[in-house]
Amino acid sequence: MKAASSKTVRQSITLPGKLAAQVRIMAKSRRLSANRMLLELIEDGMEAKKSKEQEFFALAKRFRSESDPEAAKRLGEQLGRMVFGG
């Protein structure tokens, strides 16, 4: 049985014109195809999202285990900024 990650799937997407132009410019500057550039951007974005989630859970764990009220308040504010922005 083949692993799901090794299977290649053709996927069609529609991009706004400005975004497609940016992708083409980035691809040209790196001497890649637009398709390869999109793949790298998607992979980087997924990695960043995973990293942000791990950072959030680590901060939440510190918040739950904090016994100092002032430190807990600071950690709670950090959590709020991560969730709601600001």
What is the pLDDT averaged over residues 10-18? 94
Whether the CB-CB separation of 59 and 78 falls below 8 Å is answered with yes
Does residue 75 fall inside a structural domain?
Answer: yes
What is the pLDDT averaged over residues 16-24? 97
Does residue 24 fall inside a structural domain?
Answer: yes
Does residue 70 fall inside a structural domain?
Answer: yes
Is the pLDDT at 37 greater than 50, yes or no? yes
Q: Please name the helix (run of DSSP H) or strand (run of DSSP E) that holds residue 77, with its range, or none.
A: helix 69-84
pLDDT per position as a tens digit, 54-69:
999 999 999 999 999 9
Average pLDDT, the chain: 91
Whether the CB-CB separation of 82 and 59 falls below 8 Å is answered with yes
Does residue 3 fall inside a structural domain?
Answer: no
Is the pLDDT at 1 greater than 50, yes or no? no
At 40, the amino acid letter reads: E
- The total number of structural domains that make up the chain: 1
Domain extent at residue 74? 15-84
Does residue 42 fall inside a structural domain?
Answer: yes
User: How far is CA 80 from each of CA 9, 52, 62, 86, rounded to the nearest angstrom?
Assistant: 38, 14, 14, 9
Does residue 7 fall inside a structural domain?
Answer: no
